[in-house]
Structure 1
């Protein structure tokens, strides 16, 4: 079984190793990739179809019907903003489709607060060998495929 994961934001894809946070760069929470977002206010969309398992202003996890859990973290250390600059459009427990708007945010505003706006996209509790077709160092639009995950 295989699931396609799409970019939650528009920007430049990058390997997780380029994320300036060891929890992500060393794949401590799971394998994946990152997207360096374009500036300006925009939407973060669902990278997979499924159920919103966790929802914070700055991060969310969607669990697919196949059992994969995909984490999207909007910037680094953005929890310190206490939700400022983030607007959620879904609720925890809601079923969402691929590409559905989840959170509106402003990467430029995040950077103005001194935080990195890079967005790790990670599959939780799975080995790196489960990822395929990683699209790194490439410009993508939100909703474009960036990798697959399989069991």
Structure 2
């Protein structure tokens, strides 16, 4: 069995349960369990890698990092943000890069996403994980800073 993996908060904000995400795929944990963060609206926000590993998928609005042991952590920046075609996002890494937990991957402005009529909420997903394998370290409703432990994936 793989050792427990601590997944960090990729952005600062207020922790939300996945069930609170206004998207049925995330709310139903169809791609995996996790927690979401309603990001702070303080100008341009750096998004950090929640785990160390290889960036196996990188879009301006979302990325997946494959950690040692083959577990993938998905960070999705806002909902329906794929429709923006990358506008409003700045990449600081490339697909295939190896990153340390806490390295900056993307920058964006959550307030601009919200002003455009989209939710800036950020699901952080243990891809294909079992719900019982994910233990939240921060209660929904609590504040978290980028780079702080968010949940443990055992």
Could you tell me which runs of 5 or more consecutive residues in structure 1 were left unpaired when the two chains were aligned. none
CA distance in 2, matches of 1:48, 1:137: 23
What SS does the corresponding residue of 1:79 show, helix, strand or coil? helix
The separation in 1 between residues aligned to 2:127 and 2:148, in whole angstroms, is: 21
Q: Note the 1:1-150 alignment, pairs <5 A.
A: 1-39=3-41, 40-135=43-138, 136-150=140-154
- Using the TM superposition, give the Cα deviation of residue 137 of structure 1 relative to its aligned residue in structure 2, in angstroms: 1.8
Moved over 3 A (4+): none
How many residues get paired? 150
1:134 is displaced (CA, Å) by 3.8
- Rounded to whole Å, the distance in 2 between the matches of 1:18 and 1:70 is 19
Cα offset, 1:104, TM superposition: 0.4
Structure 2 residues without counterparts, runs of 5 or longer: none
User: Aligned with 1:29: secondary structure?
Assistant: coil
CA distance in 2, matches of 1:64, 1:82: 27
Q: Root-mean-square deviation (CA), in Å?
A: 0.7
CA contact (8 A) 2:137 2:149 kept: no
